[in-house]
Amino acid sequence: MADRLVPAERIISALRQRKSPDELGRLRAAVTAAEEIFRDTHRFIAPGKTEAEIAAFMRHATQARGLGFAWDPRSCPSVFTGPDTAGAHYAPTGRPVERGHVLNIDFGVRRDLYCSDLQRTMYVLRAGESAPPPEVVHGFETILRSIEAARAAMRPGVTGNAVDTAARTVITAAGYPEFPHALGHQVGRFAHDGTALLAPAWEKYAGKPFEPLEEGMVFTIEPRLPVPGRGVVTIEEMVVVRGGGAEYLSEPQTALWLIP
């Protein structure tokens, strides 16, 4: 029968990638829930609190709402404070929040079988400061421009590699090193879902960066860059591909969240 069997992989992949209106509604609900927890956490964070304490607060808030975690709760959320942190998706540590440092959190929930995946960046003010220092502001504004460049490039028929290039070029043109990972991944029933990927043409990603985008696909956009002595600046948004471009599912972060 081998010469009569046709693999169903591409059909199943297409069905999983193109989100129906009901699926988009569930994804939006998962995004909204995560954003609410982020806002509560912003008010909770203070100098001296540790990565582990912040993560515990968010896990408790998730469970109190009857929600699940978008990935393994040992690293959901991931909390990064200051320079020289561990890589992405590591377990939060006892490292305390310090003034003058950048802090970012990677977090998502599972609600009605569907996931969210967001990152938000904050700056911990030093005594006497009322605003972040110029180098942190510049890094943050570069990330915003990178995300918008990616979103503007997203439309049906465009490859994920082209979208990644649009965002990556903004980062490197501003004098920062290119981020060492894909720009974004699909989100659905899992935080990392689907076949098509917003990624560079690196061997480890195989053919995924060259899959054309289709209407109804939901992606993260998550560039990052280092600010020496301060930490890592990054934002992760979720967008849905539409016929005329890409629309945010999340409420975009457009300003650094300040910790007094």
pLDDT digits (tens, 9 = 90+) for 85-95: 766 667 899 99
Task: Reduce the DSSP state of residue 165 to 3 states and report it.
Answer: helix
Locate the DSSP E strands across 22-154: 68-69, 78-81, 102-107, 109-111, 114-115, 118-124
Give me 14's structure tokens. Answer: 């297409």
R_g of the chain computed on alpha carbons = 19
Per-residue pLDDT 10s for the chain (260 aa) are: 889 999 898 899 888 999 999 999 999 999 999 999 999 999 999 999 999 999 999 999 999 999 999 999 999 999 999 998 766 667 899 999 999 999 999 999 999 999 999 999 999 999 999 999 999 999 999 999 999 999 999 999 999 999 999 999 999 999 999 999 999 999 999 999 999 999 999 999 999 999 999 999 999 999 999 999 999 999 999 999 999 899 999 999 999 999 99
d(CA 142, CA 173): 10
Question: What 8-state DSSP symbol labels residue 83?
Answer: S
Task: Reduce the DSSP state of residue 66 to 3 states and report it.
Answer: coil
pLDDT at position 1: 87
- Domain assignment of residue 94, given as a range: 2-259
Distances (CA, A) of 168 to 195, 252, 253: 21, 19, 19
Q: What is the CATH number of the domain that holds 106?
A: 3.90.230.10
Helix axes 134-153, 160-173, angle to 10 degrees: 160
pLDDT at position 85: 74
pLDDT at position 26: 98
pLDDT at position 86: 64
Residue carrying structure tokens 């979208």: 163
Instruction: Give the total number of structural domains in the chain.
Output: 1
Q: Which amino acid is at 249?
A: L
- Beta-bridge partner residues of 104: 80, 121
